[in-house]
Amino acid sequence: MAQTPEQLRRDLEALRHDNARLRRVETELAAALESLRGSDERLRLAVDAAGMGLWEWDIVSNRVSWDANKHDIFGMAHGTFAGTKEAFLELVHPEDRAMLGMAITRAIEDGAPYVNEFRIVTSAGDTRWIANLGQVYRDDEGRPLRMIGFVRDVTEQKLTERALTYSEQKFRSIVETTSEWIWTIDCTARITYSNPAVEQILGYRPDELVGLSLQSLVHQDDLPQARADPVDVVGGEAGMGGLYRAVPPQRRQLPLSGMPRRADFRRGRRCGGLPRVRP
């Protein structure tokens, strides 16, 4: 049956309406794609600037993709990575594989944060420390689909931390065993630390001195000289830069020669000293 002019008019209006809606959808899709491209470019710039490498793991197909930066971080030629989870774990230091495998499992099964550090051994035999951060993406029913994340080479940071730790341990060993009294004070010139030698020198346990002013240990007859000492600190107190008598718990008078080590208190640092007993 032929359509009437009125029906044709209504159908034409509906078609125009559908075409207009389709154009709006196309415009919105184009804008969304452009936004995604812009976001991807900004992400790439940020990743490159930070020296990070991106990775993506398709959990269903077990395909792992790396960007060029991650190949560089792992010391591999671009495109030479085999592209599977197992191939990735083969590059991890043997002592760290179990930890990393467990971290992946917990992230997928329990939703635990995927943040860790591990070692790799490059083809040249170098050991590098890698910081790793990732996120699991799931479908509407909660099934894991993929993981996306980035890595960063933190080897220099690790080596620096290790050197500082060794230096600190060595210094602490010297401080704890020396026969000299070594102390540190805060910006109010109150003692924050004394090494064990103070007990032999003054008769105080180290913990007894925490919070006390250095000048509270000086004999009252020597306080004017101590206050006039040119080695000053914030708060109007003075460092022990001369020869003073100290007042131990036993009330004996011990002459002390102070050798202060100054610091910039405006930066919140401490200073310390090496007072010596003179017979």
pLDDT range class, residue 22, cuts 50, 70, 90: low
Residue 35 is assigned to a structural domain of this protein: no
Domain boundary among 158, 175, 192: 175
Q: Can you tell me the distance from the alpha carbon of 202 to that of 44, in angstroms, rounded to the nearest whole number?
A: 63
Do residues 55 and 169 share a domain? yes
> Does residue 123 have a pLDDT over 80?
yes
What residue type is 80 in one-letter code? T
Sign of the CA dihedral 252, 255, 259, 261?
positive
Quick: pLDDT tens for 236-252.
444 445 666 776 665 44
- Can you give the residue range of the structural domain that contains 61? 49-175
Tell me what percent of the residues of the chain surpass a pLDDT of 70. Answer: 65
CA distances to 77, 128, 130 from 48, rounded to whole Å, are 18, 19, 16
Q: Which residue, 131, 147, 175, sits at the end of a domain? A: 175
CATH number at residue 144: 3.30.450.20
Contact 133, 114 (CB under 8 A): yes
Q: Are residues 74 and 167 in the same domain?
A: yes
The pTM is what? Answer: 0.55
Asked whether residue 200 falls in the same domain as residue 167, the answer is no
The residue length of the chain stands at 279
Residue 54 has pLDDT above 70, yes or no: yes
Written as one letter, the residue type at 43 is L
Strand partners, 273: 183, 260
Instruction: State the greatest distance between any 2 C-alpha atoms of the chain, in Å, as a whole number.
Output: 127
Distance, in Å, from the CA atom of 92 to the CA atom of 78, rounded to the nearest integer, reads 18
Q: What is the pLDDT of residues 158-210, one digit of tens each?
A: 888 888 888 788 888 888 888 888 888 887 778 888 889 888 888 888 898 89
Q: Would you state the structure tokens that stand for residue 197, as one six-digit string?
A: 């030698």
Same domain flag for 166 and 188:
no
Q: What is the per-residue pLDDT for 260? A: 44
Strands (E), the chain: 52-58, 63-66, 114-121, 127-138, 144-153, 183-185, 191-194, 243-246, 254-257, 260-261, 271-273, 276-277
Helices within 75-212 (DSSP H only): 85-91, 97-110, 155-177, 197-201, 206-209
Of the chain, the percentage scoring pLDDT greater than 90 comes to 26
**CA 189/CA 265 separation, integer angstroms:** 10
> Tell me: the pLDDT tens digits for 142-156?
999 999 988 989 898
